[in-house]
C-alpha cells in the first residue's frame, strides 16, 4: 500500500521500516505484529496508533484512529497536527494560518473549518486581485471576467457552504450540518486556488526571469 508523508508530500511504500501500528485499550497495548501471530483480534482494542517514517525526509508522523464502537468516529493527526500542505512563504502568512487552522479542526468542528475556509478564500481574493467589496459575494462577482466560469461557480459554492457554518438559519430548529468530508473538500479547493493563483504566478515569474537572464548573458557575450 502506498502512503503519503504529511511533511514532504512524497509517496512512501509500506514496509516494516516505514509503517507500524499499535493497538491500545484501557488495560493493554500491543504491536500490530502480535495481532498477526498471536490470538488477539483488532476488535479487542479501542484505539489504533499509526506511525509513518518517511524514507524521503526521514521524519516520523503519528495519527490515531478508533477501532470499534464508540471510538470509530476518532480520526485525528497527532504530529503534525494536521495534514495541511506546507505552503510556500511567498503566500501571505495570514492566508497560510487560516488554511492550516481550518485543516487542524476539520475533524473536531467541520462547520468551523468551513467558515475558516470561507474567510481564507476572501483573503485570497482581496490579496491576489486587490479587490475589496462589502461582501464576499460582491468580490467574487467583481472577478468574474478574470477567471473561468467553473472557477467562479465553485467560489460561490464554497462561499455558501462557509455561510452554513457562520450563520444560523432563520428557523433555529433547522439544523444544516457540514460534514468532515464536505469541509475536507473545501480545503482541497483552497489548495487548488493557492496553486492556480500564487504558485503558478511565482513559477511563471521565475521562468521568465531565467529566460531574460539567459538573453542578457548571451547579449553580453556577443558584445564581448
Kindly report, residue by residue over 129-155, the tens digit of the pLDDT.
Answer: 999 999 999 999 999 999 999 999 999
Q: Which residue ranges in the chain fall short of pLDDT 70? A: 1, 32-40, 165-176
C-beta separation of 62 from 15 below 8 A: no
How far apart CA 124 and CA 92 sit, in angstroms, is: 9
Global pTM reads 0.73
Domain identity same for 116 and 162: yes
Domain identity same for 194 and 218: yes
How far apart CA 220 and CA 217 sit, in angstroms, is: 5
Residue 37 structural domain: 2-79
How far apart CA 48 and CA 30 sit, in angstroms, is: 10
Domain identity same for 28 and 66: yes
Q: How many independent structural domains does the chain possess?
A: 2
Amino acid at each position: 500500500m502506498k502512503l503519503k508523508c504529511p511533511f514532504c508530500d512524497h509517496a512512501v511504500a509500506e514496509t516494516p521500516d516505514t509503517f507500524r501500528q499499535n493497538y491500545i485499550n484501557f488495560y493493554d497495548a500491543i504491536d500490530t505484529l502480535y495481532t498477526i501471530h498471536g490470538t488477539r483480534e483488532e476488535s479487542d482494542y479501542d484505539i489504533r496508533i499509526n506511525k509513518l517514517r518517511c524514507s524521503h525526509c526521514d521524519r516520523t508522523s503519528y495519527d490515531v484512529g478508533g477501532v470499534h464502537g464508540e471510538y470509530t468516529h476518532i480520526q485525528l493527526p497527532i504530529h503534525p497536527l494536521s495534514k495541511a500542505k506546507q505552503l510556500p512563504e511567498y503566500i501571505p502568512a495570514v492566508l497560510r494560518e487560516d488554511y492550516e487552522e481550518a485543516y487542524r479542526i476539520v475533524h473536531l468542528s467541520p462547520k468551523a473549518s468551513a467558515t475558516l475556509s470561507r474567510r481564507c478564500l476572501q483573503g485570497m481574493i482581496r490579496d491576489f486581485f486587490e479587490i475589496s467589496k462589502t461582501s464576499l459575494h460582491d468580490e467574487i462577482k467583481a472577478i468574474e471576467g478574470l477567471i473561468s466560469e467553473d472557477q467562479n461557480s465553485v467560489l460561490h459554492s464554497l462561499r455558501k457552504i462557509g455561510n452554513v457554518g457562520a450563520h444560523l438559519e432563520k428557523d433555529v430548529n433547522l439544523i444544516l450540518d457540514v460534514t468532515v468530508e464536505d469541509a475536507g473538500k473545501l480545503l482541497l479547493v483552497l489548495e487548488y486556488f493557492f496553486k492556480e493563483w500564487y504558485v503558478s504566478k511565482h513559477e511563471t515569474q521565475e521562468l521568465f526571469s531565467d529566460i531574460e537572464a539567459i538573453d542578457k548573458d548571451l547579449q553580453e557575450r556577443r558584445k564581448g
